[in-house]
Structure 1
Amino acid sequence: MAVVAGGTGHRIAVADVVRQLEAVLESRGFSAPRAATCARLFAEASVDGVSSHGLNRFPRFIGQVDRGIVRHDREPAAVASFAAWERWDGQLGPGNLNALASTQRAMALAQTHGLGLVALANTNHWMRGGSYGWHAAERGMALIAWTNTLPNMPPWGGTSPRLGNNPLVVAVPHGDAPVVLDMAMSQFSYGRMETHASRGEALPQPGGFDSEGRLTSDPAAILQSQRTLPMGSWKGAGLALVLDLLAAMLSDGRATVDIGARPEESGVSQVFIAIDVARANGPTRLVQRVLDDLMTDIPVDPTQPVRHPGEQVRRARAENLREGVPVDVDVWRTIGELLR
C-alpha cells in the first residue's frame, strides 16, 4: 500500500484507502456493492477535507456495526406516498447508504414533479451530510437536506443539552463548481471539535462553554461540558428546534428528545428535498452573476480571498486526488486492526 509522506502527516492513494475500507466492511457482512459504496462515501469525505466525518469516523461506525446499532444488511423501505412527498423507514441501516438512497429517490421524484421530498425515519448518522448535496448538485439538481441528532446543545438560555445540532445541507448546482453549504447548528460540529481536541489545538474562535459556564475556544472543555454554542446564538438554537420538529413530523420518526432516551444515537429522522432547477430560466447565468459580484468584494485579509461554500472543498479535492488522502497515522493503524 503506497504511503506518501505529507507536510502534515501521511498520505495514502485514494484507491488504496477505498480497498482497505471495503475489506473491513466486507469482513462485517456487507455485500460487495454496498461495501464499495459505503467505503467510497467515507473516503470521499476525507478527500474533500472533512476527515472528521470520513476516515476519522470510520472506526466508530464499525463499532456500531459490531454492537448491532447499525444493521449492515438493512435498506430503506417505503412507508407512504403523497405524490411528490414520500415517507421511508431506514430500518436502522447504515446511515450514509440510507441517505444516498434517499437523495436519489428525492431526485427521481423531482424529475417527475419538479420537486421531490423524501422523509426518512429510523435511520443512523449520515456521516458527512455534504456528500448528498454534492451528489445532487453535480447531477444538476438543488438539494435541501437535514438530520436531527441526539441532544448535544443547550437551548438558548439553558445549561443542559436538549437540542440537537441538526446539520443542514443546501446545494445549488452550477456546472463543475456548485455552491454547497454543509453546516451544523452549533458553531463547530462535534467532529471538528474532536479533531482539534485530539491535536491539542484551540478552536479558531469560541465554540461553547466550559463546565464553569465560561465561553471558551478549548474543544476538550466544550466536549466535556456538552455546552456547545449555537451558531448565530439564539438564531441557531431556534433553527435547530424547527429542523428537529419538521424532520420528526414529516418522517413520522423520532425527535431529538426521543433519540436522547436511547442508549446511544440511532433511529434519527432526516429530510431530503430535491429540486429540478433546470425548469427555471437561466439558473446557471444567475448563479454566475451572483458569484461574480461576491468576488469583487475587498477581503478583510488580502492573503485570504473572499470565497463561497464549496470552493474550499474543490481545492482540497484536487490536491488530495493528486497527492493522496491525508491520514492520521493512529487512525489508519486502528482501521487496519479492524480487518478480520
Structure 2
Amino acid sequence: MIPETVRIPFDQLHAELARILRQKGFSPERAGASARLFAETTRDGVYSHGVNRFPRFLEYLDKGYVVPEATPVQTGSLGALEQWDGQRGPGNLNAWFCTERAVALARQHGMGGVALRNTNHWMRGGTYGWQAADAGCIGICFTNTIPNLPPWGGKDARLGNNPLVVAIPREGGHVVLDTAMSLYSYGKMEGHAQAGTQLPYEGGFDTAGNLTRDPNEILKAGRPLPIGYWKGSGLSLALDLMAAVLSQGLGTAAIGGLGTEYQVSQVFICLDVSSPAHFGERQSIVDAALDFMHGAAPASPGESVYYPGEKTLRTRHENQTRGIPVELKLWQDLQQL
C-alpha cells in the first residue's frame, strides 16, 4: 500500500527539522544548515535520503555514531590536495564543508581535492555536485560504505555500493550524475518495497540466485545487482580504495567490522571552469551534447530522453510551488518529537 502523503511548504519542513536537531544538541546555526540540506534533498525528490532517512539520522545521533558539534580537522596538505578528519560529525555538514574547501583550492590551483576520513553518511551525494556546479566547477565526489554489495561472482556482500557524483556546470540547468554502484540504491528498493511495487527492471538476485524485480526478495537475499555487472563491481572496489588511500581512513572491509555504517571515507574534487578566458566555449559544448542526446528517437511512444539532473529541476520546481510530499505518519511522528 502506498503511504498517505501531505504536502508541506519548504520553510515549514526546514523549521521542523531544525527544531528537532536543536533538541539533539546542534547549535542553532548548524541545526539550520543540516536541516536545510535534508529539506532540499526532499524537495528535489530524493525522499529516501531526505526526510525519510531523518529518523535513522536521529537514531545514529542517540547512539553516538554522529557527534552533533564535531567539525572537520585538517590532517594533511599537499598543495591542491588536503586531508581532513571528520571527527564523526554530521555527514551532510562535513561534506558541504569539504566541497567548499575543494572549490577554494580549485580557485587557487585550477583544481582542488579534499579527502575526508572518519565521517558519516553524506545523505544525498548529488547535493555536493550541485554545490560545486553552482560555484562554476566540475565536481567529482565519491564515498565508500558498509559492505552491502556482493562482488561479481560472489554471494555475500564484500563491496560497498559506493555512490559516485559527477557534475558539470551549465546555465539553464547543471548536469549532475548521482549514482550508486548498485543498479538501484537501497533507499530506492526500500521505497518500492514499502509501496508494494516491483522495480522497473531486474535489480538483483533472490535467495535462489535468480534475477528478480521484487525488491523484497533482493533485500532478503542481500544481493543487489551492480551497475554494468562486473564493471560496476570493479568500479566499486576502485572507488573504495581511492577514498581510503587518499584520506588514510577506513575502507569498506574495515567499516563492515564496525557493524554499523559510520567512520566512512570520502573524496571531493573540483575543477574550476568558470574562467571565460580558458573555458569560454563551455556552455556551447555542453548544450550541443545535450541537444544531440535529446534528439534521440524515444524507445517507446510518449517517453522522453533526459540528461542527469534534468528531472530533478522539474521536481524541485513542482515541490517548491505545491509543497513537498511527506508521508503523513512520518510527519505526525516528527511533530511529536
Superposition TM-score, scaled by structure 1 size: 0.96
What's the counterpart of residue 232 of structure 1?
228
Task: State the shift of 1:292 in Å.
Answer: 1.2
Looking at structure 2, the residues matched to 63 and 231 of structure 1 have their Cα atoms a distance apart, in angstroms, of: 30
What's the counterpart of residue 300 of structure 2?
301
Looking at structure 2, the residues matched to 335 and 115 of structure 1 have their Cα atoms a distance apart, in angstroms, of: 41
| C-alpha distance after superposition, 1:91-110 (max 9, x if no partner) | 00000000000000000000
Is this contact kept in 1: 2:103–2:135, CA < 8 A? no
Looking at structure 1, the residues matched to 144 and 75 of structure 2 have their Cα atoms a distance apart, in angstroms, of: 20
Looking at structure 1, the residues matched to 222 and 23 of structure 2 have their Cα atoms a distance apart, in angstroms, of: 35
Work out whether 1:195 is the aligned partner of 2:194: no
SS of 2:171's partner is: coil
Work out whether 1:116 is the aligned partner of 2:115: no
Task: State the shift of 1:8 in Å.
Answer: 6.9
TM-align CA RMSD:
1.2
Task: State the shift of 1:40 in Å.
Answer: 0.6
Looking at structure 2, the residues matched to 142 and 333 of structure 1 have their Cα atoms a distance apart, in angstroms, of: 40
Work out whether 1:244 is the aligned partner of 2:240: yes
Task: State the shift of 1:140 in Å.
Answer: 1.2
Paired AA for residue 309 in structure 2: G
What's the counterpart of residue 4 of structure 1?
none
Task: State the shift of 1:293 in Å.
Answer: 1.1
What's the counterpart of residue 316 of structure 2?
317
Aligned counterpart in structure 1 of residue 169 of structure 2, from 167, 170, 173: 173
What's the counterpart of residue 274 of structure 1?
270
SS of 1:118's partner is: strand
Looking at structure 2, the residues matched to 58 and 22 of structure 1 have their Cα atoms a distance apart, in angstroms, of: 11
Task: State the shift of 1:302 in Å.
Answer: 3.0
Which piece of structure 1 moves more, 192-201 or 97-106? 192-201
Aligned counterpart in structure 2 of residue 20 of structure 1, from 16, 19, 27: 16
What's the counterpart of residue 42 of structure 2?
46
Looking at structure 2, the residues matched to 61 and 13 of structure 1 have their Cα atoms a distance apart, in angstroms, of: 22
Is this contact kept in 2: 1:148–1:268, CA < 8 A? yes
Looking at structure 2, the residues matched to 241 and 315 of structure 1 have their Cα atoms a distance apart, in angstroms, of: 34
Looking at structure 1, the residues matched to 248 and 19 of structure 2 have their Cα atoms a distance apart, in angstroms, of: 36
Looking at structure 2, the residues matched to 83 and 176 of structure 1 have their Cα atoms a distance apart, in angstroms, of: 33
Looking at structure 1, the residues matched to 89 and 121 of structure 2 have their Cα atoms a distance apart, in angstroms, of: 10
Question: Identity rate of aligned residues, in percent?
Answer: 51
Looking at structure 2, the residues matched to 141 and 263 of structure 1 have their Cα atoms a distance apart, in angstroms, of: 36
Looking at structure 2, the residues matched to 75 and 297 of structure 1 have their Cα atoms a distance apart, in angstroms, of: 47
Evaluate the alpha carbon distance shift between residue 312 and residue 214 of structure 1 in structure 2; reply closer, same or farther with a 3 A threshold: same
Looking at structure 2, the residues matched to 309 and 319 of structure 1 have their Cα atoms a distance apart, in angstroms, of: 18
Task: State the shift of 1:176 in Å.
Answer: 3.5
Aligned counterpart in structure 2 of residue 62 of structure 1, from 58, 61, 65: 58
Looking at structure 1, the residues matched to 292 and 211 of structure 2 have their Cα atoms a distance apart, in angstroms, of: 36
| C-alpha distance after superposition, 1:224-277 (max 9, x if no partner) | 211110011001001000000000000000000000000311000000001101
Paired AA for residue 299 in structure 1: P
Q: Report matched runs for 1:181-220 at 5 Å.
A: 181-220=177-216
Is this contact kept in 2: 1:144–1:171, CA < 8 A? yes
Is this contact kept in 1: 2:72–2:87, CA < 8 A? yes
Task: State the shift of 1:284 in Å.
Answer: 1.1
Aligned counterpart in structure 2 of residue 126 of structure 1, from 122, 127, 131: 122
Looking at structure 1, the residues matched to 4 and 28 of structure 2 have their Cα atoms a distance apart, in angstroms, of: 33
Task: State the shift of 1:333 in Å.
Answer: 2.2
SS of 1:308's partner is: coil
SS of 1:260's partner is: helix
In the alignment, structure 2 segments of 5+ residues that lack a partner are: none
Is this contact kept in 1: 2:4–2:328, CA < 8 A? no
Is this contact kept in 1: 2:162–2:180, CA < 8 A? yes
Aligned counterpart in structure 2 of residue 72 of structure 1, from 60, 68, 72: 68
What's the counterpart of residue 287 of structure 1?
286
Superposition TM-score, scaled by structure 2 size: 0.97
SS of 2:257's partner is: coil
Task: State the shift of 1:298 in Å.
Answer: 1.1
Work out whether 1:326 is the aligned partner of 2:322: no
Looking at structure 2, the residues matched to 303 and 34 of structure 1 have their Cα atoms a distance apart, in angstroms, of: 45
What's the counterpart of residue 163 of structure 1?
159
Looking at structure 2, the residues matched to 68 and 321 of structure 1 have their Cα atoms a distance apart, in angstroms, of: 34
Paired AA for residue 335 in structure 1: L
Looking at structure 2, the residues matched to 89 and 152 of structure 1 have their Cα atoms a distance apart, in angstroms, of: 24
Paired AA for residue 128 in structure 2: Y
Task: State the shift of 1:221 in Å.
Answer: 1.4
What's the counterpart of residue 7 of structure 2?
11
Looking at structure 2, the residues matched to 148 and 291 of structure 1 have their Cα atoms a distance apart, in angstroms, of: 30
SS of 2:266's partner is: strand
What's the counterpart of residue 35 of structure 1?
31
